[in-house]
Structure 1
């Protein structure tokens, strides 16, 4: 005989910083809740480049009023991982790691959440799934080759190799500079006429490397085809073929739109795919289903960050409880 699924007041889907913030707010309000995370704790942060430094200061990355002390004003990836781990364990937050929510369906007055391991019932749902798990593809021939990655981790891997970095923003800048410093021959391909949003302490460094010719930059250019030992690029001067060992495509990431649609959350009918939600309560077009964090921005993944979306947690729990957190 099948056992009745566990019942919660709130299930939080996503165990990143904002999902954890929602858990802290739920605990403070005395709610019975559970956090589900498809990967490791703060899975997205774990997959950031090893040497990454945040734009924000540590106090802007704090959640639940818990101090974040770092060695410098702007913390790095390792410090952030340690901070959020300590927050979760010291507060004994109930979080199931490596358990992915696969399906959500209406059930009585709430919802049934089915994961890769079991099912749960909940009156309220909070979707805090971020956007870092699904890269924006270029849709070019050869993108599926093993030499192509949409995630950059460690520059040592590319030492002595011919590397093509695609993108104009911070991730591309870091990949280009770090791999070049490890001895890679780097070409940077940028769709527009100039560099994009890059950390103020990184941008001059990259500009100097480009100006001196250490890193070759192709502006107003796009990749046409990726081959085993070369890449075809469309430039204002015509097509160019360059020798290549690896491609690091920093083309951005997107929320899991199929999952949102499968739940029944409405998306805008333009290319931005903004999910429907009330900006005051964070409640979607579905009763008792809420969005929190960067998932709220649709394809505009630059709108929401930890520092300006951590307040979503209190808004949601206040709506659920009907009283300020």
Structure 2
């Protein structure tokens, strides 16, 4: 019997475990993949928008020679933090259901990578699952083709090919810049009047410069409405269609958390039935003893919670479970 079972070993889950351990609570982290899986799935050469200080957890300094840290630095940092605090992490085991008993304690039912069913007992449960396993599908013909992916890792495999990027956020702009460097023929399709206002300020002028030179084709007020083996169909908001030769499609349309575990545990979901109801001062859900941390606490816009904000959730949770002695 653990004091706290934490489902998800991303930065927010790790932070929750650290804060609970500091208050003398026993913890167990259950992770269906490996620690900080979401960061691992970021593009290989991605640079964060945030400074290193804003990504720190457990008061462990995140040192980097760069103004903004890169993906590989974050992976090394969170590995170091997990090792430093000797966190109890069970990797490659998926939580499938949470059972609350009459005495208020919980049983978390899981499956390991071999399909074996297991269970863990805890007095409290924290759900800190992310969203990178669940891309936002567009729902258009051809989206299921092998040439289509919702993840961009690096540009090399696309050298000399024709690539269509769906989206206008930082991930789309970063991918377009990397692809242009390997002589890919890049077309960016975005439904908005301009690309996102949240584009990293040191990246925007580079992207706009390549668009102005014609090195990157930008279709605004448009969307991809059909994907075929050798082409994509781009349709403007006014209904005008253009057929573009194409080898690969990067549908960088974002991700969303899977709230099935929350719903099946009895947690109330508000409004659009996506945002869990919880106390923002304690992060406790409508199920007593069951807490949320990180992006799972967000609404339909998963970007409203980042590492910078979600990392403090663990402190609120730990303080509610075992208040510090003043």
Paired residue total: 318
Distance 2:224 2:52 in 1: 37
Matches within 5 A, 1:168-207: 168-196=168-196, 197-207=198-208
Per the normalisation by structure 1, the TM-score is 0.95
Q: Give the structure 2 partner of residue 110 of structure 1.
A: 105
Distance 2:106 2:50 in 1: 36
Worse-matched range after superposition: 184-193 or 117-126? 117-126
Q: Give the structure 2 partner of residue 291 of structure 1.
A: 292
Give deviations 1:245-284, integer Å, cap 9, x for gaps. Answer: 100011010000222211222222327x221110101001
Is the Cα–Cα contact under 8 Å of residues 26 and 317 in structure 1 kept in the other structure?
yes
Is the Cα–Cα contact under 8 Å of residues 33 and 92 in structure 2 kept in the other structure?
yes
Is the Cα–Cα contact under 8 Å of residues 11 and 124 in structure 1 kept in the other structure?
yes
Give deviations 1:149-202, integer Å, cap 9, x for gaps. Answer: 001101101101100001011000011110111111000000110010211111
Q: Which runs of 5+ in 2 are unaligned?
A: 113-117
Q: Give the structure 2 partner of residue 79 of structure 1.
A: 73
Is the Cα–Cα contact under 8 Å of residues 255 and 298 in structure 1 kept in the other structure?
no
* Counterpart selection for 2:254 from 252, 255, 259: 252
Q: Give the structure 1 partner of residue 54 of structure 2.
A: 60
Matches within 5 A, 1:1-325: 7-108=1-102, 109-117=104-112, 118-196=118-196, 197-235=198-236, 236=238, 238-270=240-272, 273-323=274-324
Is the Cα–Cα contact under 8 Å of residues 272 and 300 in structure 2 kept in the other structure?
no
Per the normalisation by structure 2, the TM-score is 0.95
- 1:302 is paired with a residue whose SS is helix
Give deviations 1:278-323, integer Å, cap 9, x for gaps. Answer: 0101001110111111211122222111112211111000000133
Q: Which runs of 5+ in 1 are unaligned?
A: 1-6
- Using the TM superposition, give the Cα deviation of residue 74 of structure 1 relative to its aligned residue in structure 2, in angstroms: 0.7
